[in-house]
């Protein structure tokens, strides 16, 4: 039986620990940012997985009776743990990366393990690392949750590319937070009020600029482009965020940013009104087409799938040889710990079937 190693004990990692207990998969190790907890007999029980999740939710260190704690302080240390689990499982090891770490990608590549990613960093760093993880052995690579949480965006694109259906354009709204903001602007609310509401509801990061910068959407656009075979780096993605450089994280605190946000209300209201006058609405979207990735505000017809999008849902529209006029559309919840974890779990189960 392949060994599963779960990296990350945040919300997604904890949700995965609980979900995976009901499957045929065997979890051999769980890692947080400091340590790896390795099962004594190569497999944690469902009760142990639940106890680990509960302990981490309470802010406690990794520990469970009968398991070994191994300090993991860098990429090399993590690679050593992964190699150990792989060897103990007869050469088959699946790693679920639920972190936001830069160190996991090199470690997974060095260990030669199969991966199921929620972490975008391994596939948006250097193209060389991406090639090692995704292209050298495609049977060992799945990354559904890097783009649309549990939405089958990457599976759809992979099937289209594999079948030889040329994709000419992919467009989408990949941020539930920015979707909420766009819906508020469409309803006539002020930008500052909508962002404050989103922050109070927990939709934004603690610093809303993490969302409003558009960088998370840009990473998803790059992942899509690379899945289509484009050799792009992060610097090749053109991103236009929703605030000027003088309001950046290196210029002012979060509180100062929120206090200054009303200064953008009039300009954003003008853009929303101009779009409405033309029968359109504002959407913060990514467009992958003609060898380019563009991310930022767009005016789209209100009577389209993207124009009708409301709230925190995500959407992706694909134009290809088989879908030349009416795009292939996938829409639904694109965020949430349970949804994201379910996407990772589906990838792990697919890897298990491939390597059965």
9 is in an annotated binding site: yes
Strand, helix or coil for residue 281? strand
The strand pairing partners of 249, in sequence order, are none
User: Are 120 and 226 within 8 A, CB to CB?
Assistant: no
Q: Is 220 a catalytic residue?
A: yes
Distance from chain centroid for Cα 166: 25
344: CB partners within 8 A, 6+ apart: 12, 16, 96, 98, 116, 117, 118, 144, 145
Rg (CA), the chain: 21
281 is in an annotated binding site: no
120 is in an annotated binding site: yes
66 is in an annotated binding site: no
- Structure-token pair, residue 49: 């997985």
332 is in an annotated binding site: no
Q: Which of 18, 220, 238, 251 is catalytic?
A: 220
8 is in an annotated binding site: yes
333: CB partners within 8 A, 6+ apart: 149, 150, 151, 176, 312, 313, 314, 339
DSSP annotation of 132 reads I
Question: What backbone torsions phi and psi does residue 238 show, to the nearest 5 degrees?
Answer: -85, 120
Binding residues for NADP(+): 8-13
Binding residues for L-homoserine: 205
Binding residues: 8-13, 120, 205
> What are the residue numbers of the active site?
220
């Amino acid at each position: 039986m392949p060994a599963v190693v779960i990296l990350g004990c945040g919300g997604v990692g904890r949700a995965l620990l609980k979900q995976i207990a009901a499957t045929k998969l065997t979890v051999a190790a769980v890692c947080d940012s400091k340590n790896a907890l390795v099962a004594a007999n190569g497999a944690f029980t469902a009760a142990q997985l639940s106890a680990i999740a509960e302990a981490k939710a309470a802010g406690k260190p990794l520990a469970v009776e009968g398991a070994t704690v191994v300090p993991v302080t860098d990429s090399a240390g993590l690679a050593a743990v992964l190699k150990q689990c792989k060897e103990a499982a007869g050469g088959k090891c699946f790693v679920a990366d639920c972190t936001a770490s830069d160190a996991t990608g090199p470690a997974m590549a060095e260990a030669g393990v199969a991966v199921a990613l929620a972490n975008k960093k391994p596939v948006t760093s250097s193209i060389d690392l991406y090639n090692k993880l995704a292209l050298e052995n495609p049977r060992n690579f799945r990354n559904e949750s890097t783009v649309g949480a549990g939405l089958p965006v990457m599976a759809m694109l992979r099937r289209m590319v594999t079948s030889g259906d040329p994709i000419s354009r992919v467009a989408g709204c990949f941020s539930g937070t920015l979707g909420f903001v766009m819906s508020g602007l469409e309803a006539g609310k002020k930008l500052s009020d909508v962002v404050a509401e989103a922050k109070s509801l927990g939709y934004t990061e603690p610093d809303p600029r993490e969302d409003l910068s558009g960088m998370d959407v840009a990473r998803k656009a790059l992942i899509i482009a690379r899945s289509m075979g484009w050799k792009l780096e992060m610097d090749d993605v053109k991103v236009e965020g929703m605030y000027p450089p003088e309001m950046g994280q290196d210029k002012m605190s979060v509180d100062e940013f929120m206090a200054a946000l009303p200064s953008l209300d009039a300009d954003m209201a003008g853009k929303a009104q101009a779009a409405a006058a033309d029968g359109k609405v504002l959407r913060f979207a990514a467009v992958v087409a003609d060898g380019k990735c563009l991310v930022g505000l767009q005016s789209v017809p209100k009577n389209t799938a993207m124009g009708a999008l409301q709230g925190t849902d995500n959407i992706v529209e694909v134009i290809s040889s088989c879908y030349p006029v009416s795009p292939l559309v996938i829409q639904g919840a694109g965020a949430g710990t349970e949804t994201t974890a379910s996407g990772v779990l589906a990838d792990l189960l697919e890897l298990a079937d491939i390597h059965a």
